[in-house]
Structure 1
Amino acid sequence: MTAPESATESRLSSGGLAPVLVSVWATIGVLVWLVIRSADDVTYGYYGGPFALAAGAFACHRIVRAGELARPVRTFWLRLEFAAASLALTAVIALARANNNTGMSIWVAVPMMLGVSLLLAAFLGLPAPRRTALCWLRGTLDTLTIAIASALIFWYVVLDLAPAGTSLSDKVIAAVVGVGGVLLLVVVGKSAAAPETVVDPAALRVLTTGPVTCVAGTILLIAGDDRSRLALSVLALPLTGAAMCIGAYLQRRALTRPSASSFPARSVFDMLPFAAVIATAGLVITVSAQDMNARQRIVIIGALLITGCVVARQLLSLRENTLALRGIRRQQAELERLALSDNLTGLPNRTRFLVALGERLDAGLPAAAVLIDVDDFKMINDTIGPAAGDQLLFQVSQRLRERCTGDEMPARLGGDEFAVLLADGDPVAAEAAANRLLLALADPFRVGEQQLLLHASAGIAIPGDGEGADEVLRNADIAMYAAKESGKASFVRFEPRMRDDMINHATLAGELRNGIARGELRLLYQPVFDLVTGRLHGCEALVRWQHPSRGFVSPGEFIPVAERSGLIVPLGAWVLREACEQLARWRSEYGPGAVEAVNVNVAVRQLRATGFVDEVAAVLSDTGLTSRNLILEVTESSVVDGWQVQEALQALHDMGVRLALDDFGTGQSSLSLLRAFPVDVLKLDKSFVDGIADGADRGRLAVAAAVAQLAEHLQLKAVAEGIETQGQLDRLRDIGYRYGQGFFMAKPLPAADCGALMAADPVAAA
């Protein structure tokens, strides 16, 4: 748990315990007074009510002010605050009339009924699932059944036990308060048992203390003996206040723990309508036994027996329905678990993650999303096999589960993509969590007999105003790709400009697609010279884009867009065919003076594409060239991309097409790579050519010399890129480089200018 979360929980706990202690001690004080009380003065027993209910009102007020509450929950506790204030007024009036306690006074009953009405409004105002007209009718009938039965019982049973001389108004008031308490008990019980409740169920169950004490207190105030009447008179309101304080405390504690879906069994309060029917039947039997003759009583008793049979039949049906409902709910819970969890890892899936994130956003609670993607997982999966790859993903999920705190929810979105939902919207805390999770994945993994070292990239998104769960996750995805582009094994927090960049990329991708179709692209050719003779040895095809409105678009701008959008495949196909057709025209025009081969850059997505080898063969056949007339340049990262790329490269090599390793020295250069890869040409990266002329940078000079010697021993052709000065050319030639290219000798040229070099004299290279 982060520091802000700990502070929140501490604040919630400290703010809720003080009212609980006050109300509990007030109730205990009343109990102690009942044990040691004086028979002459009962005033002291009524002091507990005002204190306990004032504490209850304060506890409800404090929770209403908590910023972490959703609006329906805040409204519920606001109404409870008003109810507690009304009942506190009741307690004060009861204290003032303590020595005149001969029944239910209207001065006590009015604020008490106001408090009961506010409690009813609070519970009836809780959000509920959409109900049909039949559901409303069933609920109305249940309410009328319970209300009529409880009114009859109060009138014919409880009030008959009232002391002689009790006024009719006191009886009516007692009956109204008692019936209201019964109805409130039903409403509270049903709300506590409802699976869709937004208020903490434990808090709702505690709040049933209020209506229970209301009903019991009303009965004993009318029909009880002096001792029981006094006990409930002084304990009912303190118990209600304590229940409110404890309920508010449980609600505040619930804010610091994740919510869980539950499917409770049918509530015992559903049995109350049947209990009301049975109780009324017993009352009818009792009354009829006093006022009717034998034949009439037999008819009444027979009718009631039939009613009892119907009730028993309904109870059996209710039990069958309850068992069936339990089975349906178990199946529903299992289906929900399967629908919202990932089969491989057991983590929540994308749907569950979006639901949880959406719930926090709808409730106005702080949140953040961290999207984690394992770098180069496809290559690892192709190397170790799908089964071992699944095992690795399971270990990644376990590592994330272990390193997440109690209020963080890890999820698997699909493939090698994971996400973690944070309960803190602070950017610093979110970045600290992302760093913690990436460090957790940096430790080696053991899969079978292999020990693998992984690294991952992460994107962080903090929800903005009005953003939904899908948009937040999309922002995290954008930030994650930004982390990959910045070098992988890192995290990036989303910024709005990234979305603008993504939109610009998408726009540029659409224009590039149209540009390919409309012929807006053209090729320039970078000559490759023999550094000893100065003659033109070859040329590298470089694509350029002249946009009709943007003007010249740099390859550094549209090539990444093409790679990300997949347009690199049709773009590369056009470059391959255009370059080969141009070489065929040169060879037709210049004969032996033309270059033997043309170099064409190939992206890894082209090598992964099915049928690429056949495409190369078809282009060579259509243009009348042989495999010796084509050199395909690939980067070191594409060579180790996976088995599909390796098979394609081997097939091209077997066909006779020469392969050049471009930008050699900047990637995963190793002797094992050269042994496994069927390479023909090594192209030394420009970064090792810069600064080599004066010999000041001995490190670059050493690398350049080592690459030349390595190429010589492996019988490979070595080509130096980026030659810009005579000094660089001389030094490279001295350490063993036969071929080179760069602006010093020639910039990328149109096809006609490059063809003119084929007929010209050798470039001065001495």
Structure 2
Amino acid sequence: MTGPVVPAARRAGTGLAPLLIAVAATAAVAVWLVVRDPQDVVIGYAGAPIAMIAAAWSVQRLGAMVMLPRVVRAFWRQLGHAAGILLIGNAAALAMANNDAGMNPYVAVPTLLGMFWAMSAFLRLPMGDRTSLGWLRVLLDLATVAVAGAMIFHYVVLNSAPPGTELTTRATAAVVGVAGLLCLVIIGKAAVRPDAPIDAVSLRILTIPPMVAVAVAVLLIGSHDTARLMISVGGGPLVALSLSAAAYRQRLTLRRPATEAPVRRRRSVNEFLPFAAVLGTAVMVVVVAAREVQGRERVLIVGAVLVTTLVVARQLLGMRENRRMLAGLRDQQAELRRLAMTDTLTELANRTRFVAVLTERLAAHEPASVLLIDIDDFKMVNDTMGPALGDQLLYQVAQRLRANSGARELPARLGGDEFAVLLDVEEVDSAEEAAARILQALAEPFRVGEHHLLAHASLGVAIAGPGDSADEVLRNADIAMYAAKEGGKAAWARFEPRMRQDVVNHARLGSELHNAIIRHELFLLYQPVFDIVTGRLHGAEALVRWTHPTRGFVSPGDFIPVAERSGLIVPLGSWVLREACEQLARWRHEHGDGAIKAINVNVAVRQLREPGFVDEVAAVLSETGLLPQNLVLEVTESSVADGRQVRETLHALHEMGVRLALDDFGTGSSSLSLLRAFPVDVLKLDKSFVDGIADGEDRGRLAVAAAVAQLAEYLQLSAVAEGIESEAQLERLREMGYRLGQGFFMSKPLPADQAGALMGAPAPVVA
């Protein structure tokens, strides 16, 4: 059983809880700074680990969402690792809270490692051309900022350090400050792209940690004790709060409708850091020159700085022009990329994106399961109501899949009426629960235009195993989906290895069946149909049989489904039709008026869909010398309900004079409604209603059997009872008013010569 359907947004969560924890920890630290006890700073340092745990949890969960592109998941996952490293530094600071842990190596080393690990996460984002020239530009910008930052720190910050400050402390502060500046440069380059995969607001929020790093480097060296305590205690919670807020913002963007246009990112201020570094260095050089250099050398230095400033200004203007030229191309590339990965009708991911995401997950050895969904009898809806309404139904199915898929699930339309959902699970129970949830959601009626439609689906579940490729997982899900259809539709089935062997066996049997048709290994038996009142032979039903050279007798229950699935049912049905008509012509030639008047031939729905089937029947009748009334074509209720093309074929056959029999009558859900739209001549009561009617205990079967007889009499149709296996059944059917019947009690299926012998019998065959 499945629980109530929960919207995807609620199941996925918004990441609000970690953000609230980080806010609470930061607020608590701020309150402590106001009412602090100078003798006990442990409480103040305790806020950072708490907030950082919440931040690491939020960022790591975001990095595990399967619906995000791989580069985005990798970025947030690595940022989560950086948060974990910073957590170690926060814990060390807490442990050494009463020993001035500001620049202690046990605190500084994890902090630096966390900063560089976060920096490498940003370097994984697209920042420009992935060519050698593009990387060279990035390295030159970083080198410019690093050199300028080091000079400024050396001349301004370190020179203002209190006397006696250790060299290690000064060097650590400089490295932290310069690393913070480099992070700002990298974030700026990642944020400036209009097609950046990370949300622009999230990237701006993520500029807070490097700014905090720069502030820490400056205040811990050149400030008084109160400012040093504030930045030491408050820096960690502030960094954690920014990470949680950025992750929360990224989650909110996932809740936007897919059709929402992407927000154009503004130019990041951080992008101008390399130029600011050049100008800042130039200003510092001018100041130093004014103090320490005299005469013409001072003029030379000032002139060089002025030339450098003009070159920087010229570069900025060139960048502006380049951006204008490239803006249109980038917009077109983004739109083409979106169209290439999105199904235009449903706005879900298409097959290309689905396979790409599945391939990425398998390559990363991450859990993956696939739900393959096929709408049952969609062709009938499309044929009867038109393709426009069919498209509306597909769109609504897609929206329902989207609403009932979590943030860790990727719904997609693979093509036609075939959908899929990629799950980030490998547990059987979780995959099966998701399958039941999807089917329950699709079982509710759809309102399409003025119609309320039921669109049940068959679903296959495949769990990726070690070494599986995306094609193998999809193929396994497809096999399971067809198993669900064969089990009765509107159900799900989970792939098992034996199913693949069944498919292989079916394929092998299909190949052998193809050869059997060519090699004339098939033959017909004829099931006599009797007038159960007079006991005389009335007709016969042609039944195909197969004797395999090595397998021996192959049951029709084995090879007929294979023929229907492979399409061989069309040539097989054509052979049966011609062979049966030729045999009836031979019987009429041999026995004259004693021969049966018509031969019954079963016709599959695939044959009725063939455009030239009516012409084929007319040609066979003409070539064998039979009249249309000498042929009875038996069709199932599901065939009649298949669609407009089948109904038109049946009406054309009936107008030609061919008689039509509704086989297995009473077993379908729309038997009575079919009689109004279907040109039926014969009703064949299904064997399941004949079984057990003799003892009279099953009142339901008795009622249906009697009702079919009365219905046939009222509509002036022939009624045939199938599967008569005892004299008691025969007598009860006579009492109900049945005139025709067939079954093993009267005769099993016979070869042509034995069936012909019954036609020459002078007395009634059945007493």
d(CA) in 2 for partners of 1:455 and 1:173?
Answer: 66
2:586 aligned partner, one-letter code: R
Structure 2 partner of 1:552: 553
Equivalent residue for 1:239, pick from 234, 242, 245: 234
Tell me what 1:512 maps to: 513
Following superposition, the deviation at residue 122 of structure 1 comes to 4.2
1:25 maps to which of 25, 28, 33 = 28
**Contact 1:457/1:480 (CA < 8 Å) preserved in 2?**
no
Is the 2:541–2:601 Cα contact (8 Å) retained in structure 1?
yes
Task: State the partner residue of 1:138.
Answer: 137
**Alignment match, 2:99:** 96
Check 1:662–1:217 CA distance in 2 against 1; reply closer, same or farther (3 A cut): closer
Change (3 A) 1:46 1:318: farther
2:191 and 2:366 mapped to 1: Cα distance? 24
- What do residues 248-290 of structure 1 show as CA deviations (whole Å, max 9, x unaligned)? 6458868987858987555433211111121222233333334
Q: Hey, what does 2:70 align to over in structure 1?
A: none
- Cα distance in 2, alignment partners of residues 731 and 179 from structure 1: 99
**Corresponding residue for 2:383?**
382
Distance (whole Å) between structure 2 residues aligned to residue 195 and residue 309 of structure 1: 28
Residues 580 and 293 of structure 1, relative CA distance in 2, 3 Å threshold: same
Q: Secondary structure at the match of 1:523?
A: strand
Q: Report what 1:40 is aligned to.
A: none
The 3-state SS of whatever aligns with 2:743 is coil
Aligned to 1:119: 115
The alignment partner of 1:744 has SS state of: coil
1:85 equivalent in structure 2:
88
Q: 1:28: Cα distance to partner? A: 4.0
Contact 1:209 1:240 (C-alpha < 8 Å) held by counterparts: no
Residues 25 and 51, structure 2, Cα contact 8 Å, conserved in 1:
no
In the alignment, which residue of structure 2 is the partner of 1:186? Answer: 185
For 2:390 and 2:12, locate their aligned partners in 1 and report how far apart those are by CA, in whole Å: 40
Q: Match for 1:549: what amino acid?
A: T
Separation in 1, partners of 2:47, 2:460: 47
What's the CA shift string for 1:221-255, capped at 9, x where partnerless? 55x5xxx4334422333233214433564588689
The amino acid across from 1:138 in the alignment is R
Aligned partners of 1:8 and 1:454: how far apart in 2?
Answer: 26
Q: How does 1:534-613 map to 2 (within 5 A)?
A: 534-613=535-614
**Structure-1 separation of matches of 2:424 and 2:582:** 60
Q: Please give the alpha-carbon distance, in whole angstroms, between the structure 1 residues aligned to 2:687 and 2:568.
A: 27
Structure 1 stretch 549-558 or stretch 149-158: which is displaced more? 149-158
Deviation at 1:561, TM superposition (A): 1.7
More displaced stretch, 10-19 vs 687-696:
10-19
**What is residue 673 of structure 1 aligned with on the other side?**
674
SS at match of 2:307: helix
SS in 2 for 1:269: helix
AA aligned to 2:482 is Y
The equivalent residue for 1:752 is: 753
2:287 matched to 1:286?
yes
- What residue identity is the alignment partner of 1:484? K
Q: 1:686 corresponds to which letter in structure 2?
A: K
Distance (whole Å) between structure 2 residues aligned to residue 733 and residue 350 of structure 1 = 59
5+ residue gaps, structure 2, are 65-72, 256-261
Contact 2:25 2:48 in 1 (8 A): no
Using structure 1 for the length normalisation, give the TM-score.
Answer: 0.83
Residue 521 of structure 1 corresponds to 522
CA distance in 2 between counterparts of 1:93 and 1:723 reads: 93
User: 1:743 offset after TM fit, Å?
Assistant: 1.2
Shift of 1:408: 5.5
CA shift digits 1:117-161 (9 cap, x unpaired): 452144325645693221222122112211221222233444555
Displacement after TM superposition at 1:601 (Å) = 0.6
Q: 1:517 to 1:135 in 2, by over 3 A?
A: same
Cα deviation for residue 192 of structure 1 reads 7.1
Partner of 1:454: 454
Tell me, in whole angstroms, the C-alpha distance in 1 between the residues paired with 2:112 and 2:475.
49
Q: Counterpart amino acid of 1:134?
A: L
Q: Secondary structure at the match of 1:378?
A: helix
Q: Which runs of 5+ in 1 are unaligned?
A: 38-42, 99-103
Seen in structure 2, the aligned counterparts of structure 1 residues 11 and 2 have a Cα distance that, compared at 3 Å, is farther
- Structure 1 position 543, deviation (Å): 0.8
Which one is further off, 478-487 or 401-410? Answer: 401-410
Equivalent-residue separation in structure 1 for 2:187 and 2:40 (angstroms):
28
Distance 2:518 2:444 in 1: 48
Closer/same/farther in 2, CA of residues 699 and 5 from structure 1, 3 Å limit: closer
2:224 aligns to what SS in structure 1? Answer: helix
CA gap 1:643/1:298 in 2 versus in 1, 3 angstroms: same
Alpha-carbon spacing, 1:94–1:482, altered in 2? closer, same or farther (3 Å): closer
Residues 90 and 192 (structure 1 numbering): CA distance in 2 closer, same or farther, change over 3 Å?
farther
| Contact kept in structure 2, 1:392 and 1:447, CA below 8 Å | yes
Cα pair 2:369 2:426 within 8 Å, conserved: yes
2:733 aligned with 1:732, yes or no?
Answer: yes
1:219-258 aligned within 5 A: 219-220=218-219, 224=222, 228-246=223-241, 249=244
Give yes or no for contact 2:614–2:649 (8 Å, CA) kept in 1: yes
Partners of 2:80 and 2:399 in 1: how far apart? 40
Q: Is the 8 A contact 1:217 1:232 kept in 2?
A: no
The one-letter code sitting in structure 2 at the alignment partner of 1:235 is: M
Name the CA distance, whole Å, in 2 between partners of 1:481 and 1:606.
Answer: 21
- For 2:151 and 2:83, the matched residues in 1 are separated by 29
- Listed one character per residue, the Cα deviations across residues 428-455 of structure 1 (whole Å, up to 9, x for unaligned) are 565555555545444544444x443414
* 1:602 CA drift (Å): 0.4
C-alpha distance in 2 between matches for 1:694 and 1:97: 97
Deviations 1:390-428 (CA, angstroms, capped at 9, x unpaired) = 334344444555555666655444333344455666655
Partner Cα distance (1:84, 1:437) in 2: 40
1:706 CA displacement: 3.6
Please name the residue that 2:663 is paired with: 662
Distance in structure 2 (CA, Å) of the matches to 1:300 and 1:87: 46
CA deviation vs aligned residue, 1:664-707 (integer Å, no higher than 9, x gap):
22225655533432222222222232233344444434433443
CA distance in structure 1 between the aligned counterparts of 2:166 and 2:670, rounded to whole angstroms? 102
| CA pair 247-356 structure 1, distance change in 2 beyond 3 A | farther
For residues 209 and 311 of structure 1, what CA distance do their matches in structure 2 show? Answer: 27
2:661 aligned counterpart, secondary structure: strand
1:151-166 superposed matches below 5 A: 151-159=150-158, 161=160
Give the direction of change, closer, same or farther, for the CA distance of 1:685–1:468 in structure 2 (3 Å limit): same
CA gap of 1:555–1:263, structure 2 versus 1, over 3 A, is farther
2:547 alignment partner, SS class? strand
Quick one: distance in 2 between partners of 1:457 and 1:2? 17
Q: How much does 1:71 deviate? A: 7.6
Residues 758 and 765 in structure 2, CA contact (< 8 A), matched pair in contact too: no
> What is the alpha-carbon root mean square deviation over aligned residues?
4.3
Q: Given that residues 217 and 229 in structure 1 are in contact (C-alpha distance below 8 angstroms), is that contact kept between their aligned partners in structure 2?
A: no
Q: SS of the residue aligned with 2:458?
A: strand
Task: Give the counterpart letter for 1:112 in structure 2.
Answer: A
Taking every aligned residue pair, what percent have the same amino acid on both sides?
55
8 Å Cα contact 1:484/1:490 also seen in 2: yes
Computing the radius of gyration from Cα coordinates, the structure with the larger value is 1
Cα separation, partners in 2 of 1:17 and 1:463, compared to 1, 3 Å: farther
SS, match of residue 526 in structure 2 = strand
Taking structure 2 as the reference length, the TM-score comes to 0.83
Matched to 2:119, the amino acid is F
Give the structure 2 partner of residue 615 of structure 1.
616
Deviation at 1:167, TM superposition (A): 8.4
Give the CA deviation at 1:384: 2.4
